[in-house]
Structure 1
Amino acid sequence: MEQLILGLIDYFKQFSYWGVILALSVEIIPAELVLPLVGYWVYQGDMIFWLALAAGSIGGVTGPLTLYALGRYGGRPLIKKYGKYLFISEKSLNSAERFFEKYGAGVAFFARFIPGIRTVISIPCGMAKMNVWKFMIYTYLAMFPITFFYVYIGFHFGAEWEHALPFLKQYLQPLMILCILCLAAYILFKYYRNKTIKK
């Protein structure tokens, strides 16, 4: 399966930076594979780092935007019927929906750093008809540092870019913990603010 996905990514390369955006717009293609490979293309001199970063960040928004649109215009019935083709289970959708209902629009940013939630969170954002511009801005702000990190690591490893994924897994866990702590701080802030308003 991984080789098939890599073949698809390589096919998109012929479209240069647009190809990076297109590859990331297909939600079944993991960014964890696309972006380190893009970093390798930068290493080869086929792409310019900052343009690759811009394309990766934009693609990091267009992908979630498709799921947002599915949630907004198709709702739960459509997701239940066709979600399996996007590897979205009803269980993960339920978790993301509860997460959104509990913590509000800010999860469009923070949830991007939480495994198991980051992809699916776009759907409840759409179902709740969250402002699309706010959704795009929050998603972009989350995806920019992630894209930078992945592309830079792919560039750093160069011809051995395949080793980037194990390296990323090693260092992403502390980053995830930091983001979860930020999320907890956001939740506490929102809780106490609401409590103050009710008084």
Structure 2
Amino acid sequence: MENLILQMIEAFKELSYLGIILALTFEFVPAELVLPLAGYWVYEGTMNLYGAIFAGSIGGVLGPLTLYALGRCGGRVAIVKFGRYFFIKEVHIDKSDQFFEKYGGSVAFLGRFIPGVRTAISIPCGMAKMNVWKFIIYTYLAMLPVTAIYVYLGYSLGTQWEKAGELFSQYANYMLISIAILIIWMIVKRRKLNVQ
């Protein structure tokens, strides 16, 4: 399966930056493969680092936007019925719902950093009819650092770009700590506002 996806991504290379965007628009194509490979293309000199990061971030918004639209237009029934085509199980939807209820619209940003929630979090945002522009901005702000790290790792590793996932997990721990601090700060701030 991974080889088939890699062949598909290589075909998207012919479309340059648009190819990166299109590859990431399909939620079943893992960003963990596309972005380091885009970094490798930068290493080869066929793309610009900043252009690859920008294209990756845009694609990283369009993919979740399709799930947001599915949640907004089809609701939970459609998600349960069609979610398997996006590798989303009902348990993922349940976790995402709980996370959305707890943290509100900010989950479009925060949920991107939590395994088991990051893909499915777009669905409750759509079901809750969250403002689409707010959703896009939060998602973009979350995807930009993740994309930058993956693309840069692919660029730095060159011909060994496949190792980017292992290295990213080291960076991810620092990122998750930062996100945890942000979540705690938001909860404290929200409670102070509710007290006043």
Distance 2:122 2:55 in 1: 20
Deviation, 1:192, is 2.5
Residue identity in the other structure for 1:25: T
Deviation, 1:178, is 2.1
1:69 corresponds in structure 2 to 69
Secondary structure of 1:133's counterpart equals: helix
Unaligned residue ranges in structure 2 (runs of 5+): none
1:18-57 aligned at under 5 Å gives the runs: 18-57=18-57
Secondary structure of 1:116's counterpart equals: coil
Distance 2:29 2:183 in 1: 27
- The question of whether the paired residues in 2 share the 8 Å contact of 1:114 and 1:180 is answered with no
Deviation, 1:174, is 2.7
Count of aligned residue pairs for this structure pair: 196
- The question of whether the paired residues in 2 share the 8 Å contact of 1:12 and 1:22 is answered with yes
Distance 2:2 2:191 in 1: 43
1:5-20 aligned at under 5 Å gives the runs: 5-20=5-20
How much identity, in percent, do the aligned residues show?
57
1:179 corresponds in structure 2 to 179
2:157 corresponds in structure 1 to 157
Deviation, 1:163, is 1.4
1:3 corresponds in structure 2 to 3
Deviant stretches of 4+, over 3 Å: none
Distance 1:132 1:159 in 2: 39
TM-score, L = length of structure 1 = 0.95
Secondary structure of 2:61's counterpart equals: helix
RMSD of the TM alignment (CA)? Answer: 1.1
Deviation, 1:190, is 1.6
1:123 corresponds in structure 2 to 123
2:147 corresponds in structure 1 to 147
Distance 2:179 2:102 in 1: 17
Bigger mean CA offset, 172-181 vs 159-168: 172-181
Unaligned residue ranges in structure 1 (runs of 5+): none
